Amino acid sequence: MPDVSITPSDRACARLCISAVSGGGGKTLLSLGLAGALRAAGREVVPFKKGPDYIDAAWLSLAAGRPARNLDPYFLPPEELRRNFLLGVARVRRELAPEKPVLALVEGNRGLYDGLDTQGSCSTAGLARTLACPVVVSLDCTKMTRTAAALLSGLTAFEPETPIAGVVLNQTASSRHESILRRAVEEYTDLTVFGAVPRQADNPLPERHMGLASLAGDTLTPETDRTLQRLTTLIRDHVDLRRLLETASAAPALPQPPDRTPRAAAQDDGPRPRIGYVRDAALWFYYEENLEALEQAGAELTRLSLLDAADWPSIDGLYLGGGFPEDRAEQLSASPHVRRRLPELVAAGLPVYAECGGFMILTQGLRKDGRRWPLAGLLPVDVEFHARPQGLGYVDGLLCRDTPYFPAGTRVRGHEFHYSRCAQPPEPLPAPSELSMRLERGVGMGPLYPRQDGFCSGALWASYCHIFAPAVPGWAPAFVAAARAFARRRV
């Protein structure tokens, strides 16, 4: 999958960024409803989520009808953020008739100016400035009238270069409440009121740890379909789509990103190795960019499942992403793929790269609610599930030895979101004195292995850290090279 060329039309694409004053301010509800309403009106939506995020991004993908891409200023500098954004737009536009209208929809995270520090580094506001993307604020107006104008005035004055275009008033209690809010915003600010969403009797987006309620993997179920249809109707009936589209279409053209040397040269070096990736109801956390990077580096990808009995095809590498294996512990413990096939493949030297949930499946067993479920038994630890996060946020690690995927000295930026942690198995096994990656930021395998991550044995890598391939450009070529070498040995 070579990179597509970016045209002037791509750089001038219509775009919007949805933000809020804080987390829980209604931006996900507005983003999902807008994606559905715009699709229903005939507009092709190209979705993006300010990361790191998998769950909200999966919902956004379902609402928009195509995979959401990740935009994270922690991982990429501004010119590479613009490049990833424009590549996402360009790929969609090449699939469509030239006259088909497209809108790029970016869902922010947390509050508009919230970042990693008091300077707001990596904030949604900074991303919007990088993309010259008009910002629509979803404002929770619960028990508020004129103060809404004060809050919005503060947002616009705080960093005046942030392109805030207007507001959607959220959680309005009555038509009178909406009328007062509208008059206050229009009198005291220059912002457009794009709509007002009435308070709902129930929360249409129930939450669980790490985001919205889990899907059946990342697939559309009758329940999620009903939720998305409800949000589509809600936003269609209460938001002025025409004015939003006018604002989105007025966004200025972005600069042409610099050329980048393609990473696909390796695919000319012999047959394309086949890398399987498990995507089912247990493991489904994958950045679209990571899969693209493997294809660009020369791999043929094939989707697999640990939860059904179907035989796997012959593969030359295996990618185990994150997910919620704790929700499928009984099925996974009974799976012949987990208990027999994975150990056979690792013993044969198959390159296996596992992140978070994938790492958990490779351990001796998973403990939850007083029970223990035996798993693949390939790593010298159990994992124990907890009610509170054990690792949450960004990771900054340094490789302390060579591995098939990262040479010694590589700096890896990633993130971790896990409610489990390592524990000694019932029968302790020999364990390495040092793992492959030392962490300057993050929890990793602690407390058994404080500030360390990355079990690596032979061609097997397993870590709590999720990576974003564009930020670690050597990962995909190295993985594909290991898979190609395995394929040659197998022949």
Residue 161 has pLDDT above 90, yes or no: yes
Under a CB-based contact definition with an 8 Å cutoff, are residues 247 and 166 in contact?
yes
The confidence band for 208, taking pLDDT boundaries of 50, 70 and 90, is very low
> Once rounded to an integer, what is the mean pLDDT over residues 387-415?
96
The confidence band for 263, taking pLDDT boundaries of 50, 70 and 90, is very low
- Residue 193 main-chain phi, psi, to 5 deg: -90, 110
- What is the percentage of the chain residues whose pLDDT exceeds 70? 95
Residue with tokens 């909406």: 178
- Residue 184 main-chain phi, psi, to 5 deg: -65, -45
The confidence band for 202, taking pLDDT boundaries of 50, 70 and 90, is confident
> Once rounded to an integer, what is the mean pLDDT over residues 282-287?
95
- What is the distance between the alpha carbons of residues 305 and 331, in angstroms, rounded to a whole number? 12
The confidence band for 266, taking pLDDT boundaries of 50, 70 and 90, is very low
Residue 76 has pLDDT above 70, yes or no: yes
Residue 264: its pLDDT value, please?
44
Domain ranges of the chain: 8-249, 265-490
> Once rounded to an integer, what is the mean pLDDT over residues 275-289?
96
Q: Phi-psi region for residue 397, left (φ > 0), alpha (ψ -120 to 50) or beta?
A: beta
Residue 215: its pLDDT value, please?
58
Pairing mode, strands 69-71 and 192-198: unpaired
User: 166-170, 220-224, 358-362: which has the minimum mean pLDDT?
Assistant: 220-224
Across the chain, mean pLDDT equals: 93
- What is the distance between the alpha carbons of residues 18 and 447, in angstroms, rounded to a whole number? 38
Regarding pTM above 0.95, the answer is no
Residue 220: its pLDDT value, please?
64
- Residue 216 main-chain phi, psi, to 5 deg: -80, 80
pLDDT digits (tens, 9 = 90+) for 11-36: 999 999 999 999 889 999 999 999 99
Residue 104: its pLDDT value, please?
98
Pairing mode, strands 274-278 and 300-304: parallel
Residue 276: its pLDDT value, please?
98
> Once rounded to an integer, what is the mean pLDDT over residues 68-86?
96
User: 30-44, 260-274, 329-343, 360-374: which has the minimum mean pLDDT?
Assistant: 260-274
User: 4-18, 87-101, 311-325: which has the minimum mean pLDDT?
Assistant: 87-101
> Once rounded to an integer, what is the mean pLDDT over residues 48-55?
91
Both tokens assigned to 183: 């008059």
Residue 267 has pLDDT above 50, yes or no: no
User: 117-131, 198-212, 266-280, 397-411: which has the minimum mean pLDDT?
Assistant: 198-212
> Once rounded to an integer, what is the mean pLDDT over residues 264-270?
51
Both tokens assigned to 435: 């793992």
The confidence band for 269, taking pLDDT boundaries of 50, 70 and 90, is low
Under a CB-based contact definition with an 8 Å cutoff, are residues 442 and 411 in contact?
no
The confidence band for 1, taking pLDDT boundaries of 50, 70 and 90, is low
> Once rounded to an integer, what is the mean pLDDT over residues 209-234?
74
Residue 209: its pLDDT value, please?
44
> Once rounded to an integer, what is the mean pLDDT over residues 101-126?
96
Q: Give the CATH number of domain 265-490.
A: 3.40.50.880
Residue 2: its pLDDT value, please?
62
Residue 170 has pLDDT above 90, yes or no: yes
Residue 360: its pLDDT value, please?
98
List, by residue number, the catalytic residues. Answer: 356
8-249 belongs to CATH 3.40.50.300: yes
> Once rounded to an integer, what is the mean pLDDT over residues 280-304?
96
Q: What is the 3-state secondary structure (H, E, C) of the chain?
A: CCCCCCCHHHHCCEEEEEEECCCCCCHHHHHHHHHHHHHHCCCEEEEEEECCCCHHHHHHHHHHCCCCEEECCCCCCHHHHHHHHHHHHHHHHHHCCCCCCEEEEEECCCCCCCCCCCCCCCCHHHHHHHCCCCEEEEEECCCCCCHHHHHHHHHHHHCCCCCEEEEEEEEECCHHHHHHHHHHHHHHCCCEEEEEEECCCCCCCCEECCEECCCECCECCHHHHHHHHHHHHHHHHHECHHHHHHHHHCCCCCCCCCCCCCCCHHHHCCCCCEEEEECCCCEEECCHHHHHHHHHCCCEEEEECCCCCCCCCCCCEEEECEECHHHHHHHHHHCHHHHHHHHHHHHCCCCEEEECHHHHHCCCEEEECCEEEECCCCCCCEEEECCCCCEEEEEEEEECCCCCCCCCCCEEEEEEEECEEEECCCCCCCCCCCCCEEEEECCECCCCCCCEECEEECCEEEECCEECHHHCCCHHHHHHHHHHHHHHHHC
